[in-house]
Chain A
Amino acid sequence: MALTLADKIWNDHVVRRAEGEPDLIYIDLHLLHEVNTPPAFEGLRESGRRVRRPDLTLGTEDHATPTSVARVPLNELHLRRQMEVMRANCQEFGIPMYPLGHSRQGIVHVIGPELGLVQPGMTIVCCDSHTTTHGAFGTLAFGIGTSQVEHVLATQTLGMHPMKNMSVTITGELAPGVTPKDVVLALINKIGTGGGVGHVMEFRGQVIEDMSMEGRMTVCNMAVEAGSRAGLVAPDETTFAYLKGRPHAPQGEQWDAELARWRELRSDPDAVFDESVVIDGSALTPFVTWGVNPAQSVPLSERVPSVDDFSDDKSRRAAARALEYMDLTPGTAMRDIPIDAVFIGSCTNGRIEDLRAAAGVLRGRKVADSVNVLLVAGSATVRAQAVDEGLEEVFNEAGVTLQPGTGCSMCCALNEDMLQPGQRSASTNNRNFEGRQGPGARTHVVSPEVAAASAVAGRLASPADLEN
C-alpha cells in the first residue's frame, strides 16, 4: 500500500499495536524545558520511577530565562524557582542539560536542530506545542502535555491515536521580500486555526524545495497554529547539507549509511492524503495579523477588516472581539498602524538567517525614537554567530541592542520581557493571543523583515516601504 512519509515514520516506531488501543510509539528524542516539566519529575519521584533513557533526553532553559544577562548568578538562582528545579531534576535523573550561560543553551527548538540531534525519520516530543518545528528535517515531532512528559520519561514511549494526512503544496516562486513566515501566515489564514486539527501536514512544492532549513523550520513551527499535530518536509540535499558536521550528526561511514537511509524518506508517489491544500506562492505578499489569533491576518498592503467582511457567526463574533481588544478601526490601512515595540526572536524567527534578514533591513538605518526594539537570538550559538558575522555592529549602529541572554523572551512573556498594557508590537513570534506578550498587550505577528522595517518606520512597514 502506498504510504505517506508520516505514516512510514509512524510504522517504523510502533512498539506495540493492539485492536482498539492507541499504538505505543517509541520516542527517539525527548526535549525538556523548565516551565512545563517540574510536575512530571515530581510524579516520577512520587511513584519511585526512573528515567528510562536519559541518553535520549535533553534539557534546556528558555521560557523563563532572563535575556538581559548572559547568565544568572548562582546566589540568585533561588529567585528563579523553575530554573533551579530544572537543574536539580536533570542532575538527579542523569539528563544532559544546558543552563543559561552554557555555550549550547537556547530555545529548545533552536538547539535541537543546531546540535544535529534532529535527524530525518526520527520521532521527537517536547512539552511545547512548537515542537512541530523539528518536522522540517523529515521527522514526526509534536508537542505533548506534562502527563505525557512523565510517561515518556518513564517508558520512552507514548500511546498515540493515528493522525490523518494533509498535503500542503506551495507552488511557484516567492517574490523578493516574501518570506517563509508570510507563506505560513497565508496558509493559516486560508484554513483557519482549526483547519489542521488531527492532521500531520506535509509541506511540499517548489517554494518548499527552494527554502532553506531555517525557512522550513519557520513553516513547520507554525503548523500548530492551524491546529495540526505535526508538520513535516521530506528531507533532501538542503537537509543533509545542514546536518553534515554538526556535533551529533553521524560521521564517516556511519554518515554514508544514514544518508542512504534518509534519501529513501519520502511519501510514495501515489500516497493518498486525507486533505490537500494548494497555495500559489508566486502570488503571496508580506502578511501581518490584525486580530487575536494567527488566522486573523491580511496582506500588509490591505486594510483592517470589518465584522461585515465575515459571513459566518463564529468569525463575526471573533472579529468583533478582536477589533475591540486590538483597538483597531475597520478600514484603517495596515501600514498606518503605529507601533510601540518590535520583538525579533523566538523559536519561529530567532535563527541566524532571521537575524541576517533583520540586519539587512537595519543596515545604515536608525530605528524610530518611538519604538522599543527587543532583539533576542534563539540560542547562544546563534548569538555568537551573529557577533562573528558583524551583525551585532549593524544592530548597534541602528540603535538596537542584541540581548546578552537567549530564550523565548517576549514571545511568551513567561519571563521579564513583556509589553505594558495597551502597548502594540510588531513581533516575529507565532501567537497574537490576548495577553500573550503581557496583560492587555497587542501583538501583530510579522516576518523579521517586516519587524525590522516597522522598527525604522514606527508603524507597520515592509523593507520596500523604506526605499520610497
Chain B
Amino acid sequence: MDAFTVHTGRMVPLRRSDVDTDQIFPGRFGRNATSRTGYAKALFGNWRDQEPDFVLNLPVYQGADVLVAGADFATGSSREYAVWALQDYGFKAVLSPRFGDIFRGNAPKRGLIPVVLDQEVIEQLWTMAEEDPSTLVTVDLVERRVTAPGISVPFEIDEDTRYRLLNGLDDIAVTEHHLDAIDAYEARRRPALPQTTRG
C-alpha cells in the first residue's frame, strides 16, 4: 500500500448528500469483475453517462484529485469497488461531513484517506472550488489539518489508522505479528462452535 502523508491538489465539488456506493460504483460495471483495478470509467458511471453537466464531466475539474462531498458519503453496499474506482480515477482524498462506516474502514486500507469536516467547511470548499477551480487544498495527515485559502481546520482520525497510512503498512502483515495471540485464542475456543466442514 502507498503511504499517505501530505497531499495538495485541486478539488471536485460534489454538491450531493447520501451518495451511496451504488452511485459511486454502479453494479453494472461490476459484472464479471474479478480484479482490483480498471474501474476509472465506472466511477459515478450513471451520472457521468446521463448528466452532461455532472461535475466530473466539466473540463475545469479534469485532473482535480480531492473529492469534496456532502454528508453520508458512501453509505449502503460494502462493495470495495467504490474505493478502487475513486483511486483509479485519481482521487487521493475524500472530504465529507460523514461517511458510511464500511467505506470509512475500507478506504484507508488502500491508501485513500476519508477526512471528516464540518458541513460549514465543506460548504466553504464547495464555493471556493466553484468560483475558482484552480484553488488548491492541502490534506496534511502529519499535522491532521486541512488548509485552503482562508481555511485551516484540524480533523480527527484514529491514531492507528493514521500510523498505518503514514507508513503504508499492510494490515495483514501487522496482524501476523500477533499469531501467538491468535493461536492462544483458538486453543480456548469451545469445540461445540459450528464448523462449515461438518454437519
* Residues of chain A having any CB pair with chain B under 8 Å: 15-16, 20-22, 24, 26, 28-29, 35-36, 38-39, 42, 47, 49, 52, 54-58, 64, 80-82, 85, 95-96, 115-117, 119, 122, 127-129, 143-148, 150-151, 154-157, 159, 161, 193-194, 197-198, 225, 227-229, 247-250, 254, 257-258, 292-293, 314, 317-318, 321, 412-414, 431, 433-436, 439-440
Residues A197 and B199 in contact in the complex (CB < 8 Å), given A36-B79, A148-B109, A151-B171: no
Since A39-B34, A198-B101 are in contact, a sample of 14 more A-B pairs with Cβ atoms closer than 8 Å, ordered by chain A residue number, is A26-B186, A28-B194, A36-B81, A38-B34, A39-B35, A54-B196, A64-B31, A147-B110, A154-B172, A229-B102, A321-B16, A413-B28, A433-B22, A439-B49
Q: Tell me the smallest distance from the CB of B60 to a CB of chain A, in Å.
A: 22
**B residues within 8 A CB of A95?**
196
Q: Tell me the smallest distance from the CB of B132 to a CB of chain A, in Å.
A: 23
Residues A194 and B182 in contact in the complex (CB < 8 Å), given A129-B78, A147-B110, A318-B17: no
User: Chain A: interface secondary structure?
Assistant: loop
Q: Does B26 contact A (CB under 8 A)?
A: yes
Contact check, B160 vs A55: say whether CB atoms are below 8 A apart: no
How many angstroms from the CA of A429 to the CA of B160 in the assembled complex? 37
Q: Does B88 contact A (CB under 8 A)?
A: no
Q: Tell me the smallest distance from the CB of B180 to a CB of chain A, in Å.
A: 9
C-beta contact mask, B55-85 vs A, less than 8 Å → 1, else 0? 0000000000000001110011111110100
Q: Tell me the smallest distance from the CB of B199 to a CB of chain A, in Å.
A: 4
Q: How many residues of B contact A (CB 8 A)?
A: 65
C-beta contact mask, B88-129 vs A, less than 8 Å → 1, else 0? 000000000010111101100110000000010000000000
How many angstroms from the CA of A414 to the CA of B31 in the assembled complex? 6
Q: Tell me the smallest distance from the CB of A119 to a CB of chain B, in Å.
A: 6
Contact check, B199 vs A155: say whether CB atoms are below 8 A apart: no
How many angstroms from the CA of A77 to the CA of B129 in the assembled complex? 48
**A residues within 8 A CB of B98?**
194, 197
How many angstroms from the CA of A57 to the CA of B196 in the assembled complex? 6
Contact check, A143 vs B22: say whether CB atoms are below 8 A apart: no
Q: Which of these, A198, A247, A434, A440, contacts B23 with CB under 8 Å?
A: A434
How many angstroms from the CA of A428 to the CA of B194 in the assembled complex? 31
How many angstroms from the CA of A192 to the CA of B32 in the assembled complex? 33
**A residues within 8 A CB of B101?**
197-198, 227-229
Q: Tell me the smallest distance from the CB of A191 to a CB of chain B, in Å.
A: 12
Write the chain A residue with the least CB distance to B49: A439
A-B contact pairs, 15 of them (CB 8 A): A15-B181, A15-B185, A22-B158, A38-B35, A42-B35, A52-B182, A54-B197, A82-B32, A116-B199, A129-B102, A155-B175, A258-B192, A317-B15, A318-B18, A414-B27
Contact check, B172 vs A151: say whether CB atoms are below 8 A apart: yes
A64, A144, A193, A317, most chain B CB atoms within 10 A: A193
* Residues of chain B having any CB pair with chain A under 8 Å: 15-18, 20, 22-23, 26-28, 30-36, 46, 49-50, 70-72, 75-81, 83, 98, 100-103, 105-106, 109-110, 119, 158-160, 171-172, 174-176, 178-179, 181-182, 184-186, 189, 192-199
**B residues within 8 A CB of A440?**
50
**A residues within 8 A CB of B16?**
317, 321
Contact check, B22 vs A435: say whether CB atoms are below 8 A apart: yes
Write the chain A residue with the least CB distance to B18: A293
**B residues within 8 A CB of A85?**
34
**B residues within 8 A CB of A321?**
16
Contact check, A431 vs B83: say whether CB atoms are below 8 A apart: no
**B residues within 8 A CB of A431?**
20, 22, 76-77
Contact check, B171 vs A147: say whether CB atoms are below 8 A apart: yes
Q: Tell me the smallest distance from the CB of A202 to a CB of chain B, in Å.
A: 17
**B residues within 8 A CB of A80?**
32
Contact check, A148 vs B175: say whether CB atoms are below 8 A apart: no
Contact check, B196 vs A117: say whether CB atoms are below 8 A apart: yes
Contact check, A227 vs B72: say whether CB atoms are below 8 A apart: yes
Q: Which of these, A15, A122, A145, A250, contacts B106 with CB under 8 Å?
A: A145
Contact check, A159 vs B32: say whether CB atoms are below 8 A apart: no
Contact check, A42 vs B175: say whether CB atoms are below 8 A apart: no
**B residues within 8 A CB of A258?**
192
How many angstroms from the CA of A412 to the CA of B50 in the assembled complex? 20
